[in-house]
């Protein structure tokens, strides 16, 4: 029921990515399409990976992850970018099974940690992750540079590549 994503899954994956963005109240933030997801996930040496949960041939859950790195541990960590289960399958153990499979994968890869981000108001997710034994890193805030500010910084770099 839980398996690695394979070429052809990008349609289902995009559907779940869009459903997650809608749940997270940012439906217009998804500019990804099937081609960009497929290119990244199914590259020769992909830097991002996906698991899907399937029931009766239908994809009902998704986990997207990549390897991050911690200079403190000197080891890679497994970063969970997205975990999503279709509304009608929540509470059925699908999310837990995806999460446990990722934890096992982290162990196989020698990772010391799994990390991810949760919206502060997403109480169901927070409850789920607490039950899994995770803890919030309350002191840390994520920062982002994008768009014109990123281009301006890049343009200010005077050195040869």
Strand partners, 59: 54
Active-site residue, selected from the candidate residues 65, 79, 128, 129: 129
Q: Does 36 bind a copy of itself (CB under 8 A)?
A: yes
Cβ atoms of 2 and 67 closer than 8 Å: no
Q: Does 153 bind a copy of itself (CB under 8 A)?
A: yes
Q: Does 42 bind a copy of itself (CB under 8 A)?
A: no
> Is residue 23 among the annotated active site residues?
no
Q: Which is nearer to a copy of itself, 88 or 142 (CB)?
A: 142
- Distance of closest approach, residue 26 Cβ to a copy of itself, in angstroms: 7
- Distance of closest approach, residue 11 Cβ to a copy of itself, in angstroms: 14
11, 54, 62, 74, 141 from 6: Cα distances, Å? 11, 12, 12, 31, 34
Among the listed residues 5, 9, 37, 61, the single contact to a copy of itself using CB under 8 A: 37
Among the listed residues 19, 23, 54, 66, the single contact to a copy of itself using CB under 8 A: 66
Q: Does 156 bind a copy of itself (CB under 8 A)?
A: yes
Site for a copy of itself in 131-150 (CB under 8 A): 132-146, 148-150
79, 96, 141 from 138: Cα distances, Å? 17, 23, 8
CA quadruple 85, 88, 92, 95: dihedral, nearest 10: 10
Q: What H or E segment, with its residue span, contains residue 53?
A: strand 49-55
Residue 118: count of CB within 10 angstroms of its CB: 16
Q: Does 86 bind a copy of itself (CB under 8 A)?
A: no
Q: Which is nearer to a copy of itself, 27 or 91 (CB)?
A: 27
Measure the CA–CA gap between 64 and 18, rounded to whole angstroms: 13
Q: Which is nearer to a copy of itself, 90 or 112 (CB)?
A: 112
Q: List the catalytic residues.
A: 129
């Amino acid at each position: 029921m839980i398996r690695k994503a394979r070429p052809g899954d990008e349609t289902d994956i995009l559907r779940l990515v869009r459903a997650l963005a809608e749940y997270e109240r940012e439906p217009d933030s998804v500019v990804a399409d099937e081609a960009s997801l497929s290119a990244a996930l199914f590259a020769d040496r992909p830097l991002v990976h996906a698991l899907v949960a399937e029931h009766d041939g239908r994809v009902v859950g998704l986990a997207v992850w990549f390897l991050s790195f911690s200079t403190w541990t000197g080891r890679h960590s497994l970063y969970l970018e997205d975990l999503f289960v279709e509304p009608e399958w929540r509470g059925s153990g699908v999310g837990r099974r995806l999460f446990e499979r990722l934890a096992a994968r982290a162990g196989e890869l020698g990772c010391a940690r799994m990390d991810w981000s949760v919206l502060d108001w997403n109480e169901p997710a927070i409850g789920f992750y607490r039950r899994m034994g995770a803890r919030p890193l309350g002191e840390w805030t994520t920062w982002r540079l994008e768009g014109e500010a990123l281009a301006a910084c890049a343009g200010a770099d005077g050195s040869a590549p």
